[in-house]
Amino acid sequence: MSINHESTIGWAWRWFVGELSECYEKQEASAIGGEVFFRCLNLGSDQRVIRAGEGLAEQTLTMLQHTLGLLKQGMPVQYVTGITTFFDCELEVCPGVLIPRPETEELVLWAASVYKKRNVDSGIRILDVGTGSGCIAIALAKQLGHADVYACDVSEIALDIARRNACNNKLDIHLFLCNVLEKGTGEAPLFDCVISNPPYVRFSEKMVMKPNVLAHEPELALFVEDDDPLKYFRAIANKALMWLQPDGLIFFEINEALGAETVKLIGDIGFTDITLKQDIHGKDRFVMGRK
C-alpha cells in the first residue's frame, strides 16, 4: 500500500477488504472488514457512503495498517476492536479474557426464563462463578431487573474487565477474587442460584478447535486435564451446596461429550431434579440441579 494524501475513506475501505480477502473468504472479509474498519474510523452506517470521498490522515492509515496486521495474524475480531455483544449487552474484551460464546447466551436465557416463570424477579441472589468478561452476571442482572448479582473469578484481568463492563452497562455487580479449587467457601451470603461456565475442554480436544482460538484465547478459561475433566464442576458443585439456600438451583454450561458424567457427578454430590439440556445444535450443553 502506498499511503498518500489522496487516500480517501472509500479507497481505504476497498484496500482493507482486498487485503483481508487474501486470508478470508470474500464474504467474511467484507463482514470482518466492516466491523473493524468503520469502528476504527468511528463511522456510523449512515456516514459510510456520504463520507467515502473524504481524505484520511496518514496517522489513521497507519492505524488501519496495524489493525489489518492483527487480523491477518488471525487475532479474533473481538480482541482487535476490544468489543463484543452478548445478549443485549455491549462488553469489552481483551486477550486474557474469554470471548463470550453464543452457547452461553442460551445458558443465560434458560436461567432467566426459570426465574421469570416463577415470577420472583425481585430479591433473587445469584452467583456467577468464573465470570470472565462478566457476561453471564451482566446479562442476568439486565434480564432479571432487581436481582442481586455476585460474580467471581480467579483472574485479576478478568475481574478488571468485568468491573468495567458492569459499570458501562450501569449495573451494580458484586465482584470478587476467588479460586474455586481452593478449600473453604469464604464469607458469602446465601444464594438462590449458582451459575457457571467453567473450563471444560479437554486438552486432547485441542485439535478440533480453531487455530485462532488456540493462539489468542486464554488457556486458563478453556482447558482442563484429560485425567479429571470435571474437576471444576466438582469443586463448584461442592461449594454450591454451602452457597445455596435450600431449593436453590445450580446451572452449568458443560462439555457436550460429558453430559451423562456431569449429571451423575452433580447427583452424587447431592443435587436433585437434575435436567440435562441441549443447545440449538442438539448437543448436550447445559445442566441444572436443585439443592
Q: At what angle do helices 26-40 and 9-20 cross, to 10 degrees?
A: 140
Ranges within 233-272 binding ligand GLN (CB under 6 A) = 253
Nearer to ligand GLN, 20 or 135 (CB): 135
Asked if 84 is part of the footprint of ligand GLN (rule: CB under 6 A), the reply reads no
Binding characters for ligand GLN, 154-193, by CB under 6 A (x = yes): ----------------------------------------
Asked if 222 is part of the footprint of ligand GLN (rule: CB under 6 A), the reply reads yes
Asked if 200 is part of the footprint of ligand GLN (rule: CB under 6 A), the reply reads yes
The order of strands in the sheet holding 272-278 is 174-177, 148-153, 125-129, 191-196, 244-253, 284-290, 272-278
Nearer to ligand GLN, 33 or 199 (CB): 199
Nearer to ligand GLN, 94 or 213 (CB): 213
Q: What's the distance, CA 268 to chain centroid?
A: 29
The DSSP secondary structure of 214-263, one letter per residue, reads HHHS-HHHHEE-TTSTTHHHHHHHHHHHHHEEEEEEEEEE--GGGHHHHH
Find the part of the chain contacting ligand GLN (CB under 6 A) among 111-119, 149-157, 170-178, 198-206: 198-206
Instruction: Count the residues of the shown chain that bind ligand GLN, applying the rule CB under 6 A.
Output: 10
Asked if 106 is part of the footprint of ligand GLN (rule: CB under 6 A), the reply reads no
The label of the residue with cell 479460586 reads 179
Indicate the pairing of strand 89-92 with strand 125-129.
unpaired
Asked if 103 is part of the footprint of ligand GLN (rule: CB under 6 A), the reply reads yes
Among 7, 67, 143, 197, binds ligand GLN (CB under 6 A): 197
Among 151, 201, 250, 265, binds ligand GLN (CB under 6 A): 201
71: Cβ contacts below 8 Å, ≥ 6 apart: 20, 23, 32, 36, 77, 80
Find the part of the chain contacting ligand GLN (CB under 6 A) among 52-60, 73-81, 185-193, 196-204: 196-204
CA atoms within 13 A on the CB side of 76: 23
| Helical (H) or strand (E) element with 143 | helix 135-143
Binding site for ligand GLN (CB under 6 A): 101, 103, 197-201, 213, 222, 253
